[in-house]
Structure 1
Amino acid sequence: MDVEELRQRLEHEKESLPLPLSITRQFSIDYAQVDDLLAWQQLASHHHLVCLDDEFYPPLLKQIYDPPVILLVKGNLESLNLPAIAVVGSRAVSQSGQSLTKQIVTDLVSAGLSLTSGMALGVDGIAHRAALDCRGVTVAVLGTGIEEVYPKRHQSLYDEIVERGCVVSEYNPHVKPFAGNFPKRNRIISGLSLGTLVTEARLKSGSLISARMAMEQGREVFAMPGNVMGGQSQGCHELIRNGAKLVEVAADILEELTSLYQFQLEELQTSHHIDQQEMCDLPFASLLASVGYETTPIDQIVEHSGIAINLVLEQLLELELLGWVEAVPGGYIRQKRS
């Protein structure tokens, strides 16, 4: 792609947007800096420019009211199109919030979902790390240019995300942190995802912006309740009062999203030849995510996994032989996470 071709594509995409957007929208990409974008793309084979009309532009993101006209992607481009769940929350997350975030993300990724978040301190970083630790795929959406790591302490996390998934930005490569850009990037986090989970948020938390945008985009919103004596989860409680689904375990999310993400995965495998099993190596991942760490009845496992009971029994036996689950009176218990 040369400079003139990229300029023409950007102009065409601007004109093809709905009328209010094509007239009033302020684009993040400065056309005068097209040379910089192409120079960045040519620096490495894992640098990608993805325009709205590209094959790899995420179809879910294209459906939102104001999709970015161009995405800068660093890492594995195919990971951008895997069925995803967004996880957001407090920067000053409590110890219990950290533990619950890790557990739920591990189970969701084990079920075959990728993890989308914003690489901020607190819940974002914990969610990315949990996905990486169980060999899952994770996507970080930045509120800075794609070459600006913010916060700086997340440099190693950034490098691992590029290796295992990808980082994404709508800004030119070296745009510095600016407060107004972070709420704007939240529409991309929710737009890439089938649903958004808020694991810990105060009433004025920025995470509620992501939840509100997910609702406006017609996506599922999930919230984890917390201690009513403290203020760390008041925002989550407010979301639940306003219709978000209360989440205690990953299965609460999977039972809402299973049909959606299986359909999306089938579509992607047909069009892009993506093998999800290569991206997540846990055995019988969707079934495993339906078995809790307390006794889970067999009928509940069948319902949550969406798998026929004869196949469930066969796979549970194999998981038991491998040490992943244990048969107990009343059902099964999961024995390990990764």
Structure 2
Amino acid sequence: MSIFPKPNPTTCIARGDKKYPNRLKDLYDPPSNLYIDGDLRLLNKPMIAIVGSRKASPEGLKNAAAFAQELSRAGLLIVSGFARGIDGAAHQATLCLGPKHFTMAVCGAGVNVIYPKEHLGLAKNIRKQGLLVSEYPLGTPPKSGHFPRRNRIIAAFSIGVLVVEAAEKSGSLITARLALELGREVFAVPGSIRQPLSRGCNLLIQQGAKLVQNPQDILEELIFEKNPL
């Protein structure tokens, strides 16, 4: 965990504020406040979540990066949970495309508390080319209960959720379930029945998630308007 010194103040948007994102009002328990670092205009862009295992395989990391870049090129903002593994790969791959490609990290701590600490550089780049978002006040340390609750925000912001790689009891399945409850699209990348990190995705597909093999499979299912800044 690292405390992140910031040159610009964090914005706090209360639930009753006109700037409060309408998408979060779909939740039965929307955050009372949102603490945001970055360009608030990005909150209006169409978003897709890319989530998955913290202990991702090399193939999973490559898939996360490939999907993130192609979906970003198509005009979607890439949302994830700022964790190790799939989340970090999706954030980083989007940033590597350069300006006009944006990512949002929904954090399980205050936006100035960087967890995991090795993502300090990633956080700095996201602030320049995206958004750091949390429902927790500045200085709040990460706690295990924060991360499942963070997942509902990821699901609500997104028009769809892609699970790239996940074990049978992965927190990513929570995000997928919440997305389904909110009427969002759920996508999953299939894998070998012998691969533990594919069991969660295969289970989602068995339960009705859309099997995807490439970004075009997702784009054919989603209807959205590009919202350039």
TM-score normalised to structure 2 length: 0.93
Aligned-residue offset at 1:209: 0.8
* Map of 1:110 onto structure 2: 73
Are 1:86 and 2:49 matched, yes or no? yes
* Map of 2:3 onto structure 1: none
Aligned equivalents of 2:10, 2:136: Cα separation in 1 = 14
Count of aligned residue pairs for this structure pair: 222
2:197 partner SS: coil
More helix by share: 1
* Map of 1:160 onto structure 2: 125
| Higher relative contact order, chain-length normalized (CA < 8 Å, sep 6+) | 2
* Map of 1:220 onto structure 2: 185
* Map of 1:64 onto structure 2: 27
* Map of 1:28 onto structure 2: none
Q: Indicate if the aligned counterparts of 1:88 and 1:199 stay in contact, CA closer than 8 A.
A: yes
Per-residue deviation, residues 32-86 of structure 1 (Å, max 9, x unmatched): xxxxxxxxxxx86552111223333222112221111210001111112210000
Q: CA RMSD in A?
A: 1.4
* Map of 1:49 onto structure 2: 12
* Map of 1:141 onto structure 2: 106
The amino acid that maps onto 2:120 is Q
Q: Which runs of 5 or more residues in structure 1 are unaligned?
A: 1-42, 266-274, 279-338
Are 1:231 and 2:200 matched, yes or no? no
The amino acid that maps onto 2:94 is A
Aligned equivalents of 2:72, 2:9: Cα separation in 1 = 23
1:73 partner SS: strand
Q: Which runs of 4+ in 1 moved over 6 A?
A: none
The amino acid that maps onto 1:229 is R
- Higher Cα Rg, which structure: 1
* Map of 1:207 onto structure 2: 172
Aligned equivalents of 1:127, 1:55: Cα separation in 2 = 30
Are 1:123 and 2:114 matched, yes or no? no
1:256 partner SS: coil
Aligned equivalents of 2:88, 2:166: Cα separation in 1 = 15
Per-residue deviation, residues 141-180 of structure 1 (Å, max 9, x unmatched): 0001111000000000001001101100111100111101
Q: Which runs of 5 or more residues in structure 2 are unaligned?
A: 1-5
Aligned-residue offset at 1:215: 1.0
Counterpart pick for 2:218 among 209, 228, 253: 253
Per-residue deviation, residues 264-291 of structure 1 (Å, max 9, x unmatched): x5xxxxxxxxx61x5xxxxxxxxxxxxx
* Map of 1:332 onto structure 2: none
The amino acid that maps onto 2:188 is A
Aligned equivalents of 1:63, 1:182: Cα separation in 2 = 19
Aligned equivalents of 1:167, 1:115: Cα separation in 2 = 12
Aligned-residue offset at 1:228: 2.1
2:109 partner SS: coil
The amino acid that maps onto 1:224 is V
Counterpart pick for 1:95 among 58, 70, 94: 58
Q: Indicate if the aligned counterparts of 1:46 and 1:75 stay in contact, CA closer than 8 A.
A: no
The amino acid that maps onto 1:128 is H
Q: Indicate if the aligned counterparts of 1:197 and 1:222 stay in contact, CA closer than 8 A.
A: yes
